[in-house]
């Protein structure tokens, strides 16, 4: 089946994507009006979802929930989760991004255990994590099954993966590539490749192969409707807040649970 073939590791030479850009971002990670401003606008909605999911599953004591943020970049999600009271380890392949994250956390007085590491070889023992966070990362992975295998390895039975990513649809090509990259320029050109976007049924299948059950997907999109968002953004204004919606046609957020028998 075409969906099954898409789950296989993608050839980096055949499917180009500018993942190297994130090594060069530096302090711009924390510039809310800079090149990553869309991530800042998304952050409150997605962190609220991750927090709600964890508290519903594990109870109100955030300090007892061990969190691993994979592909943490400059720490936008890691730091917010840690500020809520979670013990967080943030992992990213980019040493420069990790250094930026460490500096920012130190300046704000938030404790995060930041480490340079790969999604394909996570620096955590088997079954040592309660909550894996992988936000705006899945669509950048050339070996999605390999990364999911590592998530499943470090999660304890009953542990949860929370994520946000982008669906592979005509709507996502128009909004995430044509509109966001080429017209509005709120996403750095080349940092997404439509061929690497992931349909929910494909994600469900690769999760299932590693003992993870996809239990929820919801849409994640700007509150402002397109007819207001586009003119405002062209004038240099922020994208504005995001919210959860029923439609997963473009960006979507969700969770998967590791089997208790694993």
Range of 67's domain? 2-258
Q: Which of 23-37, 73-87, 135-149, 223-237 has the lowest mean pLDDT?
A: 223-237
Question: Is residue 7 predicted with pLDDT exceeding 60?
Answer: no
The mean pLDDT value for 71-79 works out to 97
Q: Find tokens 């510039």 and name the residue.
A: 31
pLDDT tens sequence across 36-48: 888 999 999 999 9
The string of DSSP codes covering 96-119 is HHHHHHHHHHHHHT---EEEE-BT
**Residue showing tokens 């007819």:** 227
| Per-residue pLDDT at 16 | 63
Whether pLDDT at 187 is above 80: no
As for how many domains the chain has, the answer is: 1
SS3 content of the chain, % helix, strand, coil (to 5): 45, 20, 35
Packing angle, helices 37-58 and 76-83, rounded to 10: 40
CATH number for position 142: 3.40.50.150
């Amino acid at each position: 089946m075409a969906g099954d073939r898409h789950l296989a590791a993608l050839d980096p030479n055949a499917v180009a994507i500018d993942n190297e850009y994130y090594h060069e971002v530096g302090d711009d990670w924390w510039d809310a009006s800079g090149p990553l401003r869309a991530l800042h606008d998304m952050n409150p909605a997605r962190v609220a979802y991750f927090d709600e999911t964890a508290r519903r599953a594990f109870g109100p004591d955030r300090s007892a929930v061990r969190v691993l943020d994979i592909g943490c970049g400059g720490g936008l999600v890691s730091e917010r989760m840690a500020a809520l009271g979670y013990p967080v380890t943030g992992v990213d392949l980019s040493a420069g991004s990790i250094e930026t994250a460490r500096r920012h956390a130190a300046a704000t007085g938030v404790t995060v255990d930041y480490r340079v590491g790969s999604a394909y070889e996570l620096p955590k023992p088997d079954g040592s994590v309660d909550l894996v966070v992988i936000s705006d990362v899945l669509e950048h992975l050339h070996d999605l099954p390999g990364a999911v295998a590592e998530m499943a390895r470090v999660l304890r039975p009953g542990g949860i993966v929370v994520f946000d990513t982008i669906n592979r649809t005509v709507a996502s090509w128009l909004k995430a590539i044509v509109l966001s990259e080429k017209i509005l320029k709120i996403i750095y050109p080349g940092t997404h490749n439509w061929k690497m976007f992931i349909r929910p049924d494909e994600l469900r299948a690769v999760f299932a192969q590693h003992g993870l059950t996809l239990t929820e997907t919801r849409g994640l999109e700007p509150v402002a409707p397109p007819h207001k968002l586009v003119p405002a953004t062209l004038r240099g204004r922020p994208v504005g807040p995001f919210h959860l919606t029923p439609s997963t046609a473009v960006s979507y957020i969700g969770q998967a649970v590791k089997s208790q028998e694993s």
